[in-house]
Structure 1
Amino acid sequence: MEAGEDIGHPKAGLAGFFAARWRGNVPLKRLFWRDMVVIGTAINLATTAASLVLLAAGLPLPAALAVHFAALPYNLFLTFAVWRTAERRGGGTAFAYQMGAVFWLIVATLI
């Protein structure tokens, strides 16, 4: 496998998806912008909306909080994957990607 090759396509399965990102086999721009900012944010918005629906339906607060924070493990994974990939790639933008990932994690967790 060449560096930057995305083995996380459907044929590789879910394990391949996570392994490719953890090992830094996915281009940093794709990992940050598509996986984290677009898809990760969409997942967080969906879990937040679902938790608000649960609260409106009268379910207990712990149930709504569980749904709201269900994406947290994935958010942590994405943040560390971006951090590791940026660290390996180096360059002038590596630190910016790392700080962007941390900022995104904070915002995604609070909203």
Structure 2
Amino acid sequence: MQASAGFFSDRWRAQVPMRLLFWRDMVVVGTLINLLFTGVALAMAASDLPIELAAAVHFAPLPYNLFLVAAVWRQPASAVHRWASLAWLAFVTLV
């Protein structure tokens, strides 16, 4: 439990370099997590499970995504990173 608490608190307190937060945590890991959940949700919908359940699985990573975007905005970052994080959020939420 301590490791995950450190993960979140380090990002929230801007103790992680932007290149790791933005590129590794958000773009690479975050995108892979979202693609995995979207794939599972599509498989659930294709197997005639309730669409509400598939939608819930698809949107399950949303709190993590919102946390990552908020962490980027809390960093002393460039405007490019901030607006790119919002574009990433829109992309992974809709796709």
Same fold (TM over 0.5): yes
Normalising by structure 2, report the TM-score. 0.96
Q: Does residue 90 of structure 2 align to residue 106 of structure 1?
A: yes
- Where in structure 2 are the equivalents of 1:33-44 lying within 5 Å? 33-44=23-34
Match of 2:45 in 1: 55
Measured in 1, the distance between the counterparts of 2:93 and 2:73 equals 17
Give the aligned partner of residue 11 of structure 2: 21
Mapped to 2, the partners of 1:15 and 1:59 lie a distance apart of: 35
The ranges of structure 1 where at least 4 consecutive aligned residues each deviate by more than 3 angstroms after the TM superposition are: none
Tell me how large the CA RMSD over aligned residues is: 1.2
5+ residue gaps, structure 1: 1-10
Cα deviations by residue, 1:33-88 (Å, 9 ceiling, x for unpaired): 00000000000000000000101111000000000000000000000001111xxx
Identity of aligned residues (%): 51
Larger radius of gyration: 1
Higher normalized contact order (CA 8 Å, seq sep 6+, divided by chain length): 2
Q: TM-score, normalised by structure 1?
A: 0.82
* Counterpart Cα distance in 2 of 1:30 and 1:13: 17
